[in-house]
Amino acid sequence: MVSVEEAERIIQRRTRDYGTESLPTEQALGRFLAAPVVADRDMPPFDRVTLDGIALRFQSVTDGIREFHVARSQAAGEDPGKITRPDECVEIMTGAALPSATDTIIPFEDIEKVNGQGIYLLREGSYQFGQNIHVRGRDRKAGEILVNTNQWIGPPVIAAALSAGRTELEVRKFPKTMVISTGDELLGQHKPLSAFQIRRSNDYMLASDLQLHGLRANTNHLPDDPVIISAEIGHCLREYDVIILCGGVSMGKHDYVPGALEQNGVKPLFYKVAQRPGKPFWFGEHASGVLVFAFPGNPVSCFLCLHRYFLPWLYASAGQPIRPVYAQLGYDFEFKPDLQYFLQVRLEVNEKGMLIGTPAEGNGSGDFANLLASDAFLELPLGREKFSRSESFRVWPFKNWT
Amino acid sequence: MVSVEEAERIIQRRTRDYGTESLPTEQALGRFLAAPVVADRDMPPFDRVTLDGIALRFQSVTDGIREFHVARSQAAGEDPGKITRPDECVEIMTGAALPSATDTIIPFEDIEKVNGQGIYLLREGSYQFGQNIHVRGRDRKAGEILVNTNQWIGPPVIAAALSAGRTELEVRKFPKTMVISTGDELLGQHKPLSAFQIRRSNDYMLASDLQLHGLRANTNHLPDDPVIISAEIGHCLREYDVIILCGGVSMGKHDYVPGALEQNGVKPLFYKVAQRPGKPFWFGEHASGVLVFAFPGNPVSCFLCLHRYFLPWLYASAGQPIRPVYAQLGYDFEFKPDLQYFLQVRLEVNEKGMLIGTPAEGNGSGDFANLLASDAFLELPLGREKFSRSESFRVWPFKNWT
């Protein structure tokens, strides 16, 4: 049996680079960049007008000129015009390029049009040289990095890449992953159920969680049959980068998973973690590099193991380790066994900005029903029995803010 | 011009119910339940053994019996056996149903097998009546609600629904949504660009953000042509529930959007919000009920408006209002204009559980490049110029924890 910390260390020492692939930019949403996005030209590419008004020379305002003659009108996207006299201006729209010899934009709110004469009168006010211009190259110079490698590709990254002319993005490949649940007591949908059987759901739960993180895994279910389990593991070792198993890893007579794994040459790196839930977690590696996460079959256990071990490994493998999150315990809690306890909590942020994790039903029961009302696991350290309200601990969120 | 608060109130008064649809359970991930999921039988459906060991009668232990004869061995999924004598036990596996006349499970760690005799010896220790049994109906009784209506369908909800035999789920429909950007200066990919034009990206940014929230929107781009804009708006008013526009709403000569909307019978509910960025935000409603969110064309402005106004409206319409998040300001900040300022911040949780929002580049610049390094908008209230480090304010996160 290893500690949570040791288990984490052993797993994190085995982060892997699964290579890269090229995707159309819009389809790269939710993935990780495998190469930086570079500005193809200055950003903005010209001195960009940031609101509608007139472009003029600031010196004219300083010199006391208040009447400006419209030399031309210029929309966004048009080649910039110019002015030739100090009392001229260009009527100009948001997004347009600054005309030659002008350096300042006065918004329409601060001027008044003299009807039919093509003249604007400047109101009294305080104007600043260069106001309302987004200067060329201020955000980035051509050739500079716009988005760093390994960044998560959210909507702003999609927009930045498209505006830099990138129709494709190089993204990190995720490992080819198979999720397998085992157990004779678990039946698929549409099959008649005896009073002592239950519906198969763990593999779908884990696979849908992976899907939320951008990884499309395959799923399968196997009976408690050592021959079938061994054959399927052999097959998956050839076809996949990662195998996630649920169930069949305890000490029972029908727990064939560890045996079948070792028979197929998967070397155990640890078996059992000093934690609750999720104690009989088996982790191993094949000589080919394939990693096997064999989680216990209890739904809360395998869900915890996915969030506490697999996802941090996945994100670290993608070059973007998970940022730690901490929360204060909502009220006093006691846990006696010498195991690291993962408490299911509901997360809330109070008006001071403090994250509070409150046990979902108060009794700290790790039942599956509680999971439905929870947002995160709160990790209580080993070697203590009492945990006080307002102490802060690391949490592993599994629901988003919105 | 309205305040942020008024704009929010006007929009939130127009939440809509777009009806429901039925989806295969696995495909309902990320949606909202339109009807509760009810337990089809007790949960668990039988007294469920929670670890591998032997099932026996607790009174026998109290009576001092230490040798137990194996009456049978029982796997998960099998019909439960029984014992007939006080010194009998059933060898039993995790997930199995409790045999008749037994009431307590002793794990294999606490017993020793007498070789070849079918007898287990109980080690000295403290045992409790009923230990290691998940009692029938403890989580839910048949007919009780397992998952409430309006809940977000995450992986645990998928698992709960499947284990209750639900192959389909009734979910809330999202509004049929069209995202349109406008502007002659914006060109699609693969088109040659003049020095004063830029690449179209706003509509993809907004649509990919909606996709992260489960809503698949259509996108389109229109030139600054009042006839084309008006015709397309007319078309979308017939085909969609919601129209999101970006650009063409300022005071410039080529800002045809508000005119085209009113011409098509969309009644303006407000125009301009006392905020930065995003001031020229136009919001209206057609007699048919179609809502039009016409955002400014600046990328940061339209991204803010989507997160501050549209998504809260969408979630409220789905019956699950967004939970407020607050963060402490990472350091002193000053903002003078009499506008509500949305500061781009990077969010971090310190070890005390405090959310800290630190301006992405320190200068509070609202440029698009900053958005790439930010996680949220921090909403600074009106009527003040100075905001101090450690004061807390509401934030609008646009990146997840992981």
Residue of A nearest to B24 (CA): A189
- Are residue B65 and residue B81 in the same domain, yes or no? yes
Separation of alpha carbons A183 and A254, rounded Å: 9
Quickly state the pLDDT bin for B254 (edges 50, 70, 90).
confident
Separation of alpha carbons B265 and B286, rounded Å: 6
**Please, which residues have CB within 8 angstroms of residue A47's CB and are 6 or more apart in sequence?**
A97, A98, A133, A134, A135, A136
- Are residue A203 and residue A121 in the same domain, yes or no? no
User: Domain range for residue A361?
Assistant: 325-397
B364 has a pLDDT exceeding 80? no
> Taking the CA of residue B319 as centre, how many other CA atoms within 13 Å lie in the half-sphere pointing to its CB?
20
B343 has a pLDDT exceeding 70? yes
User: Which pLDDT does position A254 carry in this prediction?
Assistant: 82
Distances (CA, A) of A190 to A163, B160, B165: 50, 16, 8
Nearest to A164 by CA among A43, A24, A281, A67: A43
Quickly state the pLDDT bin for A369 (edges 50, 70, 90).
confident
In a domain, B23, yes or no: no
User: Which pLDDT does position B400 carry in this prediction?
Assistant: 80
Asked if B156 and A205 come within 8 Å (Cβ–Cβ), the reply is: yes
User: Which pLDDT does position B365 carry in this prediction?
Assistant: 61
Q: Which residues in B lie closer than 8 A to residue A184 (C-beta atoms)? A: 75-78
A363 has a pLDDT exceeding 60? no
| Neighbour-count burial for A1-24, b at 16+ CB within 10 Å, e otherwise | ebebeebbeebeeebbeeeeeeee
User: Which pLDDT does position A220 carry in this prediction?
Assistant: 97
Residues 199-258 of A with CB under 8 A from B: 199-202, 204-206, 208-209, 211-213, 224, 250-255
Average pLDDT rounded to a whole number, residues B361-366:
57
Last residue of a domain, one of B76, B110, B134: B134
Q: Which residues in B lie closer than 8 A to residue A356 (C-beta atoms)? A: 353
A262 has a pLDDT exceeding 60? yes
Average pLDDT rounded to a whole number, residues B222-242:
97
Domain containing residue A115: CATH number:
2.170.190.11
- Are residue B218 and residue B236 in the same domain, yes or no? yes
- Are residue B313 and residue B178 in the same domain, yes or no? yes
User: Which pLDDT does position A366 carry in this prediction?
Assistant: 65
The distance of A239 to chain B (nearest Cα, Å) reads: 24
B388 has a pLDDT exceeding 70? yes
Average pLDDT rounded to a whole number, residues A97-101:
96
Domain containing residue A384: CATH number:
2.40.340.10
Average pLDDT rounded to a whole number, residues A342-360:
94
- Are residue A214 and residue A145 in the same domain, yes or no? no
The distance of A202 to chain B (nearest Cα, Å) reads: 6
Q: Computed from CA positions of residues B391, B393, B399, B402, in that sequence, does the dihedral angle turn out positive or negative?
A: positive
B362 has a pLDDT exceeding 60? no
- Are residue B184 and residue B275 in the same domain, yes or no? yes
Give pLDDT tens digits for B194-226.
Answer: 999 999 999 999 999 999 999 999 999 999 999
In a domain, B365, yes or no: yes
Last residue of a domain, one of A110, A134, A158: A134
- In chain B, what are the helix, strand and coil shares in percent, each to the nearest 5? 20, 35, 45
User: Which pLDDT does position A156 carry in this prediction?
Assistant: 97
Which of B156, B303, B350 minimises the CB distance to A156?
Answer: B303
Query: pTM of the full predicted structure?
Result: 0.94
Asked if A140 and B190 come within 8 Å (Cβ–Cβ), the reply is: no
Peptide bond connecting A107 to the previous residue in cis, omega within 30 degrees of 0: no
Residue of B nearest to A328 (CA): B353
User: Which pLDDT does position A400 carry in this prediction?
Assistant: 80
Average pLDDT rounded to a whole number, residues A270-297:
97
The distance of A377 to chain B (nearest Cα, Å) reads: 13
User: Which pLDDT does position B367 carry in this prediction?
Assistant: 80
Which of B163, B352, B401 minimises the CB distance to A397?
Answer: B401
Mutate to test the interface with A, among B136, B157, B181, B198 (most CBs of A within 10 A): B198
In a domain, B155, yes or no: yes
Number of domains in chain A: 4
Which of A155, A183, A371 minimises the CB distance to B205?
Answer: A155
Last residue of a domain, one of B134, B157, B190: B134
In a domain, A145, yes or no: yes
Pick A178 or A95 by higher pLDDT.
Answer: A178
Nearest-5° angle of CA B346, CA B348, CA B351? 165
Pick A50 or B17 by higher pLDDT.
Answer: B17
User: Which pLDDT does position A364 carry in this prediction?
Assistant: 52
In a domain, B258, yes or no: yes
Determine the distance from the C-alpha atom of residue B150 to the mean position of all C-alpha atoms in its chain, rounded to a whole number. 11
Separation of alpha carbons A305 and A276, rounded Å: 10
User: Which pLDDT does position A361 carry in this prediction?
Assistant: 64
B100 has a pLDDT exceeding 80? yes
**Least confident span in B36-45, B143-152, B252-261:** B252-261
Domain containing residue B220: CATH number:
3.40.980.10
A387 has a pLDDT exceeding 80? yes
What percentage of chain A carries pLDDT values higher than 70? 98
Mean predicted lDDT score pLDDT of chain B: 94
Asked if A198 and B353 come within 8 Å (Cβ–Cβ), the reply is: no
User: Which pLDDT does position B190 carry in this prediction?
Assistant: 84
What torsion, rounded to 10 degrees, do the Cα atoms A366, A371, A376, A381 define? 0
Nearest to A71 by CA among A59, A58, A54: A54
What percentage of chain A carries pLDDT values higher than 90? 87
Q: What is the CB neighbour count within 10 angstroms for residue B9? A: 11
Residue of A nearest to B213 (CA): A402
Q: Are B68 and B84 in contact (CB under 8 A)?
A: no
Separation of alpha carbons A220 and A141, rounded Å: 51
Pairing of strands A104-107, A111-114: unpaired
A307 has a pLDDT exceeding 60? yes
- Are residue B216 and residue B265 in the same domain, yes or no? yes
A348 has a pLDDT exceeding 90? yes
Quickly state the pLDDT bin for A260 (edges 50, 70, 90).
very high
Separation of alpha carbons A90 and A47, rounded Å: 15
- Are residue A245 and residue A287 in the same domain, yes or no? yes
- Are residue B233 and residue B201 in the same domain, yes or no? yes
B402 has a pLDDT exceeding 60? no
Q: Are A303 and B156 in contact (CB under 8 A)?
A: yes
In a domain, B9, yes or no: yes
In a domain, B164, yes or no: yes
**Token digits of residue A310:** 């697999």
Q: Which residues in A lie closer than 8 A to residue B302 (C-beta atoms)? A: none
Determine the distance from the C-alpha atom of residue B226 to the mean position of all C-alpha atoms in its chain, rounded to a whole number. 38
Asked if A185 and B76 come within 8 Å (Cβ–Cβ), the reply is: yes
Asked if B208 and A45 come within 8 Å (Cβ–Cβ), the reply is: no
Which of B140, B201, B211 minimises the CB distance to A159?
Answer: B201
User: Which pLDDT does position A54 carry in this prediction?
Assistant: 96
Separation of alpha carbons B25 and B118, rounded Å: 46
User: Which pLDDT does position A401 carry in this prediction?
Assistant: 65
- Are residue A356 and residue A273 in the same domain, yes or no? no
- Are residue B235 and residue B206 in the same domain, yes or no? yes
The distance of B151 to chain A (nearest Cα, Å) reads: 9
The full length of chain A comes to 402
Separation of alpha carbons A348 and A354, rounded Å: 8
User: Which pLDDT does position B147 carry in this prediction?
Assistant: 96
A251 has a pLDDT exceeding 90? no
User: Which pLDDT does position B360 carry in this prediction?
Assistant: 79
- Are residue B130 and residue B68 in the same domain, yes or no? yes
In a domain, A25, yes or no: no
Asked if A324 and B196 come within 8 Å (Cβ–Cβ), the reply is: no
User: Which pLDDT does position B236 carry in this prediction?
Assistant: 98
Domain containing residue A155: CATH number:
3.90.105.10
Quickly state the pLDDT bin for B253 (edges 50, 70, 90).
confident
Quickly state the pLDDT bin for A402 (edges 50, 70, 90).
low
Pick A373 or A292 by higher pLDDT.
Answer: A292
